[in-house]
Amino acid sequence: MQRIFSGIQPSGIPTLGNYLGAIRNWVALQQGHECLYCLVDLHAITSWQDPAALRDQTRTQAAILLAAGIDAETHILFNQSAVSAHARLAWIFNCVARIGWLNRMTQFKDKAGKDREAVSSGLYVYPNLMAADIHAYHATRVPVGDDQRQHLELANDIAQKFNHDYAVEFFPAIEAVVPPEAARVMSLRDGTRKMSKSDPSDQSRINLTDDAATIALKIRRAKTDPEPLPSEAAGLEGRPEARNLATILGALSGRTLDQVLAEHGGSGFGPFKEALTAQVQESLAPISGETQRLLSDPGHLDRVLRRGAERANAIAEPIVREAERIVGFLS
Ligand code: AQP
């Protein structure tokens, strides 16, 4: 059975983008794979996090993942900092990856923006830690949103260079598993930027804990353009906000973009937004309800994560010890 690893940063409340680009896919992949799902708190602190908020967000994310259908009995759910193998292998990979490779990473450029000199060095080497997350388990399949493809290519480059430099066949190749529909969900305020849980504007995203009224308000305020919706996907050219909203409706209702547009083409955004609101509310209500129930018992969530970390550690420790032996550390 192939081993899957994927992570999500507890840097805020997961969004509809995280759900459609990652979480929903994670749930489906539990059939037929051995899955490790990780709350990547080491990644989260690459941008400053309030410590109390980080603890809360880690528990909230655990609750959301369980509520969305992650089975922490059959599979493994844990927080990254509880398994030291991640940080140890990341250091080795910092010494394998080339600066030139990291300089090409578009996510760093996006996140650092004009402030490149002032961001943390952790943000810069983030892709090396991500490579370590995966390779510490010899995972071969990694479900991610479209935005993470470049980091996975880098993880493969690092594995190849490690194997080459030390003349071993130790780290296997990994394959991205990107969901076909709605691989990238965009901001409700700007259809050219991805929806992000750390965007300063809460209006830019749907949080998976938003109630029905909040969802309705955010969709009502979502940016659109003055034209009615086209009847075919080709008509969305140059209309990123319209494309995004139609894509979200399609992804949540199990329809293609063309099917959504066949129904709503010619309609103004008023009635379309009502249909979208009803769909988002219906899709998210079971998750937000169950999340609230789980959050009422933080002790239970902590126990689930602790047990997950023990099981993750049992897999990663021998692999990372072997990597340490290969590079020449005394064991
Ligand atoms: N807008 C998105 N559309 C589709 N997929 C998305 N993902 C994130 N945003 C979108 C996918 O969610 C998984 C977990 O992401 P992450 O939390 O590790 O980091 P991220 O990609 O940086 O997500 P955010 O929400 O933008 O987080 P912040 O704001 O903290 O940086 C990944 O598989 C990602 O592809």
Dump pLDDT digits (tens) for 78-117: 999 999 999 999 999 999 999 999 999 999 998 888 888 9
Q: Roughly what angle, to the nearest 10 degrees, separates helices 212-221 and 269-295? A: 150
244 lines ligand 1 (CB under 6 A): no
Q: How many CB atoms lie within 10 A of CB 327?
A: 12
41 and 79 in contact (C-beta within 8 Å)? Answer: yes
What pLDDT is stored for residue 111 in this prediction? 86
17 lines ligand 1 (CB under 6 A): yes
Ligand 1 center from residue 304 Cα (angstroms)? 23
What pLDDT is stored for residue 89 in this prediction? 98
187 and 205 in contact (C-beta within 8 Å)? Answer: yes
22 lines ligand 1 (CB under 6 A): yes
Ligand 1 center from residue 18 Cα (angstroms)? 5
What pLDDT is stored for residue 293 in this prediction? 97
What pLDDT is stored for residue 181 in this prediction? 60
What pLDDT is stored for residue 296 in this prediction? 97
pLDDT-flagged residues of the chain (< 70): 180-183
Q: Roughly what angle, to the nearest 10 degrees, separates helices 240-253 and 257-264? A: 110
Report, as residue numbers or ranges, the catalytic residues.
111, 194, 197
What does the alpha-carbon distance between residue 237 and residue 177 come to, in Å, rounded to a whole number? 27
What pLDDT is stored for residue 132 in this prediction? 98
Q: Which atom of ligand 1 is nearest to the CA of 43?
A: 18
11 lines ligand 1 (CB under 6 A): yes
148 lines ligand 1 (CB under 6 A): yes
What does the alpha-carbon distance between residue 297 and residue 299 come to, in Å, rounded to a whole number? 5
What pLDDT is stored for residue 80 in this prediction? 98
Has this prediction a pTM greater than 0.85?
yes
Q: What is the DSSP string of 219-238?
A: HHHS---SSPPPSSGGGGTT
**DSSP H or E stretch at residue 36:** strand 34-39
Ligand 1 center from residue 287 Cα (angstroms)? 18
What pLDDT is stored for residue 200 in this prediction? 92
Q: Sign of the C-alpha dihedral, residues 20, 288, 35, 79?
A: positive
Q: What is the DSSP string of 127-181?
A: HHHHHHHHHTTT--EEE--GGGHHHHHHHHHHHHHHHHHTT---SPP-EEE--ST
What pLDDT is stored for residue 183 in this prediction? 65
Ligand 1 center from residue 14 Cα (angstroms)? 8
Domains delineated in the chain: 3-183+297-327 (3.40.50.620), 202-293 (1.10.240.10)
